[in-house]
Amino acid sequence: MQTLRKTLIQCVLLLCATMAIGAAAQDYPKLKLRLAHFLPPNFTGSIIDQWFVDEIKKRSGGNIEIQIFWAGSLGRPTELLTLVRSGAVDLAATGTGYYPNEMPLSSIVQGVPLTFDDNEQATRISKMLFETKPALQAELSRNGIHPVFWHSLDGYRPLCKKKLETLADFKGTRMRGFGELLPKMWSALGATPVNVLPAELYEALSRGTLDCAFWAYDLLHAGKLHEVGKFTTDLHFGAYVNYPIMASTKIWESWPPQVKKLMAEVGLEAMERDIKLVQQKGREAREDMLRNHGVQEVVFKERDKLMAAIPDLQDAWIKSMAAKGLEKEAQDLIATIRAEKAKRPATR
């Protein structure tokens, strides 16, 4: 009798759970969405994005399906903002740093080296900025995008075809550059900046267009750049917030509240997963490249001299924003970042 009673209770609980899932699924409309992505599926952020897509489908009872178009198959990184804000795609994954004219203030979290110390600090401070600063919110609004969640990038460092041990080793070295301020940093160190998109790094390094790639360990590894560059360094030039998964504002506003709530909840979980996975993948990538692929992590001998040679990039960014009539907003963002960094020191 006791066994029968236990079985009946289990059946009732299972039925209730099934009914609850069914009822919840009925709350979501049938949506088939397209997400244009600029990276291949094997990168750390891409793994998180696949989890996000799968989880949205699961929690909506299969009603909301998101198809990811990987590796720029719907457009280059510099084209995806136009695609998503026009509604040609529902969602897009691309860095705001690719759009210095459309999103100048947003470049503080993606385009200014040595601003953040690690990926967790970068993510949490950047998220707070976009949620609280009217100037950043206005920038998103003007471009017709709504960030669902942000990814992170751990410390960026060179991976080169030659050793960088002293400041003199930078002279004439062709370094990957992007944005406005990274090239200024390389030039100040005597290097030659070369603007190369992520998908072009392997070929540029193998053909000698570049002497050094510049990425975080997990991305260098995912891009197999250790096959063509065998020297990295024990110092890095700061972490960044990575690309957001952005929705077209028009499309976002057309969704019923429960869809937006689901996207926001799963997006927040994805962001937390991203912070941890980036750190894990970075450790694993470094170990694999050093142990199994012949990469050498060179100890840089003139750290203080190098840092003294780099100009104040945050001040340079403020001056750049001042030329666009955004000096007050830029000063406020830098002041907030510095204050938040004091409250959120790097954990590693």
- Write out pLDDT tens, residues 3-52: 444 444 454 444 444 444 443 666 899 999 999 999 999 999 999 999 99
329 Cα distance to chain centroid: 23
**C-alpha distances out from residue 329 to 133, 168, 340, Å:** 9, 37, 16
Which residues does the chain have with pLDDT short of 50? 1-9, 11-23
183: left (phi over 0), alpha (psi -120 to 50) or beta: alpha
Q: pLDDT at position 178, please?
A: 85
Q: Nearest Cα to 25, choosing from 69, 51, 60?
A: 60
pLDDT in the model for residue 80:
96
Q: Are 228 and 139 in contact (CB under 8 A)?
A: no
Q: Write out pLDDT tens, residues 308-335.
A: 999 999 999 999 999 999 999 999 999 9
Query: What CATH superfamily classification does 157-239+283-337 receive?
Result: Bacterial extracellular solute-binding protein, family 7 (3.40.190.170)
Assigned CATH for 9-106+128-151+242-273: 3.40.190.170
Residue boundaries of the structural domains of the chain = 9-106+128-151+242-273, 157-239+283-337
Distance of CA 162 to the CA centre of its chain: 28
Query: Is there a contact between 310 and 114 (Cβ–Cβ < 8 Å)?
Result: yes
Query: Do 9-106+128-151+242-273 and 157-239+283-337 have matching folds?
Result: yes
* pLDDT given for residue 136 in this prediction: 97
What pLDDT is recorded for position 176?
A: 96
Q: The pTM is what? A: 0.88
pLDDT value of position 3 = 46
**Residue 94 near residue 49 (C-beta atoms within 8 A):** no
Location of structure tokens 């990575």 = 242
pLDDT tens profile 282-315: 999 999 999 999 999 999 999 999 999 999 999 9
Question: Which pLDDT score is estimated for 25?
Answer: 61
pLDDT (0 to 100) of residue 23:
38
Q: What pLDDT is stored for residue 197 in this prediction?
A: 84
